[in-house]
Amino acid sequence: MALPVTAVIGAGISGLTAGKMLADYGVPYVCFESSDRIGGNWAFGNPNGHSSAYRSLHIDTSKHQLSFRDFPMPDHFPDFPHHTQIKQYLDSYAEAFDLERNIEFRNGITHAQRLEGGGWKLETETGQTRFADLLVVANGHHWDPRYADFPGEFTGESIHAHHYIDPQTPLDFSDKRILVVGLGNSAADIAVELSSKALRNHVTLSTRSGAWIVPKYIAGRPADKYYKTNPHIPLAWQRKFVQTFQPLTAGRPENFGLPTPNHKFFEAHPTQSVELPLRLGSGDVIPKPNVSRLDGATVHFDDGTSSDFDVIIYATGYNITFPFFDEDFISAPDNRIDLYKRMFSPGIDDLIFAGFAQATPTLFPFVESQARLIGAYAVGRYQLPSVAEMHDTIAADMQKYTGHMLDRPRHTQQLDYFLYEHDMRTREIPTGVLRAERQGPPTWAGVADDAEGEGMELKAGAR
């Protein structure tokens, strides 16, 4: 069969792994990147605004869980690398597999239109019109900030954690009354950093749902080394086990003055922090429940108390956004997008999404497992099931991965990496191979070849 000329949107970890696998299979592709560098969220200060990294950021997943299976992290890296080391790792990955030769930098996709009969017409930032048979969307989901919608108006400074860099940027965060809204990993890191007595701040942390805080080390080893879901034991039993023993390893949030979570452990994404419990216990961070109302400089809380603030930092997550698609074609209201195996929109067989999941405990090997299916699909070794079966599987997978979790936008894309990877390796890809043998491989529209020279011919990345 003819191989599909393929376009990849984005050169973050998902775009890089997809490109690497496409190259391994000999599939012609171009990766369109709006920035002048690879790395996406891990490119600190990314000129395209798509990095949420702050200066002090260290990865919350240990390198032992984070490494690509075919490209381990260097032994000399610490257990929890700094963001500069993650970027260095991605640069080394791209260099080792010669990925930049297929990347067009400073040339993102501004509009993607699916053509009648299949195939894609793509408009780029440089004003070009390009055509592709297969489109891989890997533009990430941690770059479009989502704010909490509280009644009233705040007259101080308000920023999202996405824009936070350090105690001097984008504001001078010293001698300030600061409210951090949220209790995820970023909220914990920022609250800890700004509560240093050297900055003379008064830091308050507000949470709507509460959170279970987990340590980064247990018995001197990275805690996630002990975490691996077993696909052969009922999930409810495994959750019950960790719910029973979690307070013994990290304590209950109430021990530190935080509100009691409105969920059990693992019914929402836990927060990893070594320092936040200490700062709470030391009185450097003041815990509060959800905000009930804003009134000038005054913030009122659900417990009936109120305080005045100079700055609010919203660490309230991100929207899943596809600015290059027409909204009536593909969108993700409340961050929900129904995808088969978190990759395929039923009925659109020449469109693949990569990396759109909150994978616990690790993201890098998750996108690597998706890339294996992308490569097999592009060369016809894997075939999709019927649209009806795809819808049934989407519903079953949503129940499997998120049915026990709080109904919040941040949990719509939650999944367990170990269960997902096991399913892909032992069932989904082998079953898709059998479908391809019985039904025949995917067919591509050939639009790139028919576009009179305006197709996706490979060229060196323009820097």
Domain limits of the chain? 6-144+318-439, 147-314
Mean pLDDT of the 211-226 span: 91
Mean pLDDT of the 237-242 span: 88
- Asked if 54 and 30 count as a contact pair (C-beta separation under 8 A), the reply is no
In words, the CATH class of domain 6-144+318-439 is alpha beta
Give the confidence band of 457 by pLDDT, cuts at 50, 70, 90.
Answer: low
Give the confidence band of 66 by pLDDT, cuts at 50, 70, 90.
Answer: very high
In this prediction, residue 405 carries a pLDDT of 85
Distance (Å, whole) CA 281 – CA 264:
22
Task: State the architecture of 147-314 in CATH terms.
Answer: 3-Layer(bba) Sandwich (3.50)
Token pair in block for residue 38 = 């690879």
Torsion of the alpha carbons at 94, 99, 103 and 109, rounded to the nearest 10? -80
For residue 458, is pLDDT > 60? no
Q: Which residues of 239-262 are buried (b: 16+ CB within 10 A; e: fewer)?
A: beebeeebeeebeebeebebbebe
In this prediction, residue 451 carries a pLDDT of 58
Amino acid found at 407? D
Mean pLDDT of the 79-108 span: 98
Q: What DSSP state is assigned to residue 237?
A: H
Mean pLDDT of the 89-96 span: 98
Domain pair 6-144+318-439 / 147-314, same fold: yes
HSE-up (13 A, CA, CB side) for residue 417: 21
Q: Give the residue from 136, 140, 135 showing the smallest Cα distance to 40.
A: 140
- The Cα-based distances of 152 to 43, 158, 197, 350, 394 in angstroms read 36, 14, 31, 46, 39
In this prediction, residue 456 carries a pLDDT of 55
- To 5 degrees, how large is the angle CA 174–CA 49–CA 309? 30
Task: Give the number of other Cβ atoms within 10 Å of residue 408's Cβ.
Answer: 17
Q: What DSSP state is assigned to residue 393?
A: H
- To 5 degrees, how large is the angle CA 208–CA 321–CA 372? 105
Give the confidence band of 196 by pLDDT, cuts at 50, 70, 90.
Answer: very high
In this prediction, residue 247 carries a pLDDT of 82
- Asked if 122 and 6 count as a contact pair (C-beta separation under 8 A), the reply is no
Give the confidence band of 226 by pLDDT, cuts at 50, 70, 90.
Answer: confident
In this prediction, residue 150 carries a pLDDT of 98
User: Dihedral sign, CA of 136, 138, 139, 145?
Assistant: positive
Mean pLDDT of the 221-229 span: 89
In sequence order, the β-bridge partners of residue 130 are 122
